[in-house]
Amino acid sequence: MSGTGRLSGKKAMVTGSGTGIGREVALEFARQGADVVLHYAHSDKGAKTAVSEIEAMGRRAAAFKANFDVVDEVVALGESALEFLGGMDCLVNNAGITFNKPFLKVTREQFDQMYHVNIRAQFFLTQRIVAHMEGHGGGSICNLTSIHGVQGAPEHSVYAGTKGAIIAYTRSLAVELAHKNIRVNAIAPGWVTVDNYYNVLPGFNLEDAKKDAYEKVPVGRYGLPIDIARLAVFLCSDDAGYIIGQTIVADGGTTSLMSLISDFRNESAAQFGKNYLPGI
């Protein structure tokens, strides 16, 4: 592979990259010239096939397992990645879990595990990588959050809390590290169709999903992992050198649409301003 691409010569790690968004981010980083460490928590199948694809591009890659409910494994993951890559320029914190449950039925164990995996693990992994970046010219960090961090949905109080925490932590950490040439930003994806939808949504199929997305998402479609992967590449590249502490929402216009508006494709029949504005 030629030495071209936005991330040519960079060394990167993407957590939660055995499936879905994380796997596509890892692949796109390699397409853009980076060597990549992938992380997985359970099955290694997706991560290892991605490693093979990356190696076929002429880039270096490896996959490491870590349970993000255990801080020691998180820190060890960071050490393994740094050793394999010989340093790190980009860290994409994608790993996370989700669940929905009525507020009054959430247990302490469920609450703890969500915060341990979604925010505590990310915090201490980033801490280890930043310690390296400080002494090696800086780097870029991209945290994956969610539109659940900026909008409300019933039965998601715990999950949304972790995603809101990522947004706040990203902003604060970014201003602490910017003068050290370490940039921190986040991405908040909206509806992005991934393999797990088939596992958790009864009867899920692409044909119905396309129709549903056309009706509900202003852009007329659901998101794809590559949409998020390309944004992550940009945020970790030198092209985004003046972007600090931002959470970029990538949701096809979902959060921009006022929830009271149901038919956003046709001209409204209501005439607000009648009798007191010209031409109304």
- Catalytic residue numbers? 159
The three-point CA angle 79-84-85 to 5° equals 100
CB 77 within 8 A of CB 39: yes
Phi/psi for 142 (5° steps) reads -125, 115
Task: Provide the strand spans (E) within 44-114.
Answer: 61-65, 90-93
Dihedral sign from CA coordinates of 233, 237, 241, 245: positive
Q: Exposure pattern of 89-123 as b/e (b: 16+ CB <10 Å)?
A: bbbbbbbbebeeeeeeeeeeeeeebbebbbbbbbe
Q: How far is CA 50 from CA 11, 38, 263, in A?
A: 16, 8, 41
As a whole number of Å, the CA-based R_g of the chain is 20
Closest CA to 84 of 137, 27, 13, 28: 13
